[in-house]
């Protein structure tokens, strides 16, 4: 028996490093999944790679900054599977690296539309489904950036602070209804997003930026998406039945530096 036998898990940003790793983890333990991403081809490829058929997986395209598209992926999932046991509210973008006076307003708005409004819409439409069921687990993907300040990353950092705030608010609203809401806060993880952050931090010298990030981590290395997936799957599972409003750092000790 797997931890997720007969469970239905929705994952946004499912074609990215962390989303894909969580999909692999929960489906290996029996879950059915609705995998949501802006890039439909990429998320269909994830389903193929995981060897899932349409009885266990559905690929859904959505721009999470658009409320109607978020409502649609929730509705389609319920129509297909009849319920939603767990939700990884994961889709996000990094934006640019620039000091506040130089940060482009349009990029700031784009980051907030995806990272903040996208997470908010996910909560707005997922909570009623779980209220009706009387149970459910939601995990928001925050970031170590939501617990600290990083020069040049005002949009990303402040958006992830907002995700942590939403986690705490909604967790208190639904705690007596059988719904748990937590967040994971990854540090430097070996994903496409970190490749872009490295390049943004030191254009033309991304390798040096990566070395500096590695040196800053007490464990001396980047984390892997699978290591975030291990923590996330615990929070989605019944093993975390008394865990809510918690922020789990997955950062090799970086937060203490």
- Residue 121 pLDDT > 80, yes or no? yes
Strands 136-141 and 32-37: unpaired
Looking only at the bridges linking them, the beta strands covering 8-12 and 247-250 are unpaired
pLDDT at site 205: 65
Per-residue pLDDT band for 188 (boundaries 50, 70, 90) equals: confident
pLDDT level of residue 202 (50, 70, 90 thresholds)? low
∠ Cα 8 23 145 (to 5°): 110
- Give me the pLDDT at residue 98, please: 93
- Single pTM value for the model: 0.94
Determine which one of 73, 156, 213, 248 is catalytic: 156
Q: Structural domain boundaries of the chain?
A: 8-187+226-249, 192-222
pLDDT for 222 beyond 80: yes
Strands across the sheet containing 32-37:
57-61, 32-37, 8-12, 86-89, 136-141, 179-186, 247-250
Say what the pLDDT of residue 256 is. 80
Q: In the predicted model, is pLDDT for residue 119 greater than 90? A: yes
Mean pLDDT confidence for 40-48: 97
Alpha-carbon distance values, 32 to 127, 152, 227 (Å) = 19, 40, 21
Q: Is the pLDDT of residue 79 over 80?
A: yes
**Running DSSP on this structure, what letter comes out for residue 141?**
E
Cβ-based neighbours of 132, under 8 Å, separated by 6 or more: none
| pLDDT confidence of residue 13 | 98
Count the Cβ atoms, other than its own, within 10 Å of residue 75: 12
The per-residue pLDDT for 209 is 67
Give the burial string for 137-169 (b: 16+ CB within 10 Å, else e).
bbbbbbbbbbbeeeebbbbbbbbbbbbbebbbe
**C-beta neighbour count of 226 within 10 angstroms:** 16
pLDDT of residue 58: 98
Whether 156 sits among the annotated catalytic residues: the reply is yes
Residue 221: is its pLDDT beyond 80? yes
| CATH architecture classification, 8-187+226-249 | 3-Layer(aba) Sandwich (3.40)
Q: What is the mean pLDDT of residues 178-201?
A: 84
Per the listing, tokens 């779980």 go with 130
Report pLDDT digits (tens) over 138-161.
Answer: 999 999 999 999 899 999 999 999
Summarize the confidence of residues 106-129 as an average pLDDT.
98
Average confidence (pLDDT) over 1-17 = 95
Give the ranges where the chain is alpha helix by DSSP (H).
17-28, 40-49, 67-81, 105-112, 118-133, 154-174, 192-201, 206-216, 225-236
Residues ≥6 apart with Cβ < 8 Å to 115: 92, 93, 156, 159, 160, 162, 163
Q: Evaluate whether 16 touches 38 at the Cβ level (below 8 Å).
A: no
């Amino acid at each position: 028996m797997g931890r997720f036998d007969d469970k239905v898990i929705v994952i946004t940003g499912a074609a990215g490093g962390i989303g894909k790793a969580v999909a692999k983890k929960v489906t290996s333990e029996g879950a059915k999944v609705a995998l949501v991403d802006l890039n439909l081809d990429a998320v269909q490829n994830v389903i193929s790679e995981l060897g899932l058929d349409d009885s266990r997986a559905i690929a859904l395209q959505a721009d999470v900054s658009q409320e109607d598209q978020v409502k649609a992926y929730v509705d389609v999932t319920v129509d297909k599977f009849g319920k939603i046991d767990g939700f990884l509210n994961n889709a996000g973008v990094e934006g640019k690296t620039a000091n506040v006076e130089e940060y482009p307003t349009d990029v700031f708005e784009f980051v907030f539309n995806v990272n903040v409004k996208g997470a908010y819409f996910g909560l707005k439409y997922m909570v009623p489904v779980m209220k009706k069921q009387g149970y459910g687990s939601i995990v928001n993907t925050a970031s170590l950036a939501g617990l600290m300040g990083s020069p040049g990353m005002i949009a990303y950092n402040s958006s992830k602070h907002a995700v942590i705030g939403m986690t705490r608010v909604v967790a208190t609203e639904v705690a007596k209804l059988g719904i748990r809401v937590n967040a994971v806060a990854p540090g430097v993880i070996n994903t496409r997003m970190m490749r872009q952050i490295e390049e943004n931090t030191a254009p033309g010298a991304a390798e040096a930026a990566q070395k500096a990030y590695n040196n800053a981590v007490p464990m001396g290395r980047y984390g892997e998406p699978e290591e975030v997936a291990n923590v996330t799957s615990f929070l989605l599972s019944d093993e975390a039945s008394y865990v809510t409003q918690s922020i789990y750092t997955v950062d090799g000790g970086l937060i203490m530096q």
